[in-house]
């Protein structure tokens, strides 16, 4: 069985465990809440949950996990949701004063709290071309969510695939209408090589297609 760790320092880690347990693929998995470098060493893959990216990075440092996490990202599948997506990015805008420690892994630039204060949280239907049952939209739950600004893979990097995007025309009122140069802002789930990133919270809905995608495509596919 593959050991899927969930970084359990702060944020929505318990909800990820529940979502993984409900998968039909769950019999192929062992789920482990990760709090120490010893826990991480047992994992074949890792989920970094939503929460507060600066706090998660600080707690990781205090737990001695910063360097082990950076090494892990280089070789094993990692899925970052929301704050976890920020940590998995190569560059961040709107970082807190004093900066933000990142793990890298995805060749993108992301903006913290990028939807602005008037739309701190919203729900929106997503087009999910990369998932099972793609004609059925997914209800994306965004909470002080980051926004993807730019994709910049080099020729040595694995290509980036868009797995889900905000459906144009169905943006909640209050969000500025997006023009063509803003296209990356509509991307809300990306896959690059072993890694997966969602700027919203799939673990807060009962639709587990994103959990199924990560397990099938990133965790079990390489086995
Ligand atoms: N705004 C948070 C951050 O910057 C992320 C919010 C979330 O994970 N729901 O870390």
The alpha-helical segments, DSSP class H, found in 76-132 are: 83-87
> Among this protein's residues, is 195 annotated catalytic?
no
pLDDT tens digits, 19-43: 999 999 999 999 999 999 999 999 9
pLDDT tens digits, 51-80: 999 999 999 999 999 999 999 999 999 999
The region of weakest confidence among 72-81, 97-106, 174-183 is: 174-183
Confidence of residue 180 (pLDDT cuts 50, 70, 90): low
- C-alpha distances in Å from residue 140, one per residue of 113, 171, 187, 194: 16, 11, 12, 23
50 CB under 6 A from ligand 1?
Answer: yes
Report the pLDDT value the prediction gives residue 185, as an integer from 0 to 100: 86
Measure CA 158 to chain center. Answer: 17
Say if residues 20 and 211 touch (Cβ distance below 8 Å): yes
pTM score, whole prediction:
0.94
Please report the atom of ligand 1 found closest to the CA of residue 142: 9
Pocket test for ligand 1, best of 94, 144, 197, 198 (most atoms within 8 A of CB): 144
What ipTM did this prediction achieve?
Answer: 0.95
Residue 1 assigned as binding residue: no
Q: At what angle do helices 66-75 and 53-62 cross, to 10 degrees?
A: 110
115 versus 207: the higher-pLDDT residue is 207
Closest of 73, 68, 80, 101 to residue 16, by C-alpha: 80
**Domain spans, the chain:** 2-220
List 16, 127, 195, 201, catalytic entry? 201
Residue 143 assigned as binding residue: yes
- pLDDT > 70 fraction of the chain, expressed in percent and rounded: 91
Residue 223 pLDDT > 80: no
- Fold for the domain defined by 2-220: Rossmann fold (3.40.50)
Confidence of residue 100 (pLDDT cuts 50, 70, 90): confident
């Amino acid at each position: 069985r593959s050991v899927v760790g969930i970084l359990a320092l702060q944020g929505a880690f318990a909800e990820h465990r529940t979502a993984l347990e409900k998968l039909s693929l769950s019999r192929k998995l062992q789920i482990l809440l990760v709090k120490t470098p010893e826990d991480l060493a047992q994992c074949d893959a890792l989920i970094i949950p939503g929460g507060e990216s600066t706090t998660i990075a600080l707690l990781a440092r205090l737990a001695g996990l910063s360097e082990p996490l950076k090494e892990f990202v280089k070789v094993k599948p990692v899925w970052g949701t929301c704050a976890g997506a920020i940590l998995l990015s190569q560059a961040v805008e709107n970082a807190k004063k004093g900066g933000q420690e990142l793990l890298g892994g995805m060749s993108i630039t992301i903006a913290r709290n990028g939807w602005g204060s008037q739309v701190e949280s919203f729900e929106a239907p997503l087009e999910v071309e990369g998932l099972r049952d793609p004609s059925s939209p997914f209800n994306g739950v965004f909470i002080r969510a980051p926004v993807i600004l730019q994709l910049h893979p080099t020729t040595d990097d694995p290509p980036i695939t868009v797995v889900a995007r905000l459906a144009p025309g169905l943006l909640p009122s209050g969000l500025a209408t997006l023009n063509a140069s803003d296209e990356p802002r509509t991307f809300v789930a990306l896959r690059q090589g072993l890694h997966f990133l969602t700027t919203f919270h799939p673990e807060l809905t009962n639709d587990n297609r994103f959990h199924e995608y990560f397990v099938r495509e990133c965790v079990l596919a390489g086995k």
